[in-house]
Structure 1
Amino acid sequence: MMFTHIMVGCSDPAKSKVFYDALFGALGGTPGFDTGKGAFYQHNGGAFGFTLPANGEPVSYANGGTIGFAATSTDMVEAWHAAGLANGGSCEGAPGPRPMPGRNLYGAYLRDLDGNKICAFVDLTEKA
């Protein structure tokens, strides 16, 4: 494994928890552990969290950065995207095929409540 966890900043921990609980629920995960300043999720060997910035400055997001979450079916990608939209996220790419040489990918993109770009993908190459 290349990393121990991924953490992003948030401006409203309570609203972010509702948003990410819905997203991880759509991927088969459980609600996050509330840290008081954010929440932390563990699912399928990965760890993800969000928190108020430790330095007290306004939250910001990575320009050009994307965090990808694994799904196991196209239905799961679609449920993930719908959960994000229903809980305040914005669409950055509707669910659908994502062409890549030699791979059969299906994915969707969202922006979370603080502008972080996230996606969910399933690789259908082996399933075809």
Structure 2
Amino acid sequence: MIHHVSIGTNDVHRARKFYDPLMTLIGFRVLKSSDRSVHYGASDIAFSLETPTNGEPASAGNGIHIAFQAPDRETVRRFHETAVTSGGSDDGAPGIREEYNTNYYGAFVRDLDGNKIEAVTYTARESFGLNR
């Protein structure tokens, strides 16, 4: 079981403006923050943004991404839209990823530091028939 995940950022305040609305969408809130880090979770810290302790610039890992569980497809769509509107870049529009699972509905974005993040849900098609 994973206890928590931390990724690097070069500007905690800028990263927080980007991540605060995204974390709210998936049910996380800020549990602790400082000038060097911000920590999100529901009751315990699950996801953190931190300036590297070695003093080197933060850089995104090639091949690494973090997937956040969303409660439904609408939240996945809102997560993607909010991220892109907040300065992130699209790395995979909301939609079914049948190569993973017939109900795998996800969206991928890059944050302001280039980290790849995803919102995903496995809920079946919603009753209003959207399959985006």
TM-score, with normalisation over the residues of structure 2?
A: 0.86
Aligned residues, how many?
127
CA change 1:40–1:101 in 2 (3 A) is closer
Letter in 2 for 1:119: E
Residue 65 of structure 1 corresponds to 64
* Deviation digits for residues 12-62 of structure 1 (CA, Å, limit 9, x no counterpart): 110100111011112233245212202000138760001111011111111
Provide the rounded CA distance (Å) in 2 between the counterparts of 1:34 and 1:44: 15
Task: Describe the SS at the equivalent of 1:104.
Answer: coil
| Residue of structure 1 in register with 2:10 after alignment | 11
Unpaired runs of 5+ residues, structure 2, are: 128-132
8 A Cα contact 2:39 2:45, kept in partner: no
* 1:21 match: secondary structure: helix
Segments ≥4 residues shifted beyond 4 Å: 125-128
Q: Secondary structure at the match of 2:94?
A: strand
- Cα offset, 1:126, TM superposition: 9.5
Could you list the per-position Cα deviations for residues 68-87 of structure 1 after superposition, in whole angstroms to 9, with x for gaps in the alignment?
A: 00001110001111111121
The question of whether the paired residues in 2 share the 8 Å contact of 1:22 and 1:87 is answered with: no
The 8 Å contact of residues 5 and 47 in structure 2, kept in 1 or not, is answered as yes
User: Structure 1 length as normaliser, TM-score?
Assistant: 0.88
Unaligned runs of 5+ in 1: none
Q: Distance in 2 between matches of 1:89 and 1:101?
A: 24
CA distance in 1, matches of 2:17, 2:64: 23
Instruction: Determine the C-alpha separation between the residues in 1 that align with 2:64 and 2:84.
Output: 20
Q: After superposition, what is the alpha-carbon deviation per residue over 1:73-113, rounded to whole angstroms, capped at 9, x for unaligned?
A: 11000111111112111100011111136541111000011
CA distance in 2, matches of 1:93, 1:39: 26
Q: Is the 8 Å Cα contact of residues 17 and 38 (structure 1) preserved in structure 2?
A: no
SS of alignment partner, residue 104 of structure 2: strand
| Identity score, percent | 36
Shift in alpha-carbon separation, 1:18–1:102, aligned structure 2, 3 A:
closer
Higher percent of residues as strand = 1
Query: Which stretch shifts more, 39-48 or 116-125?
Result: 39-48
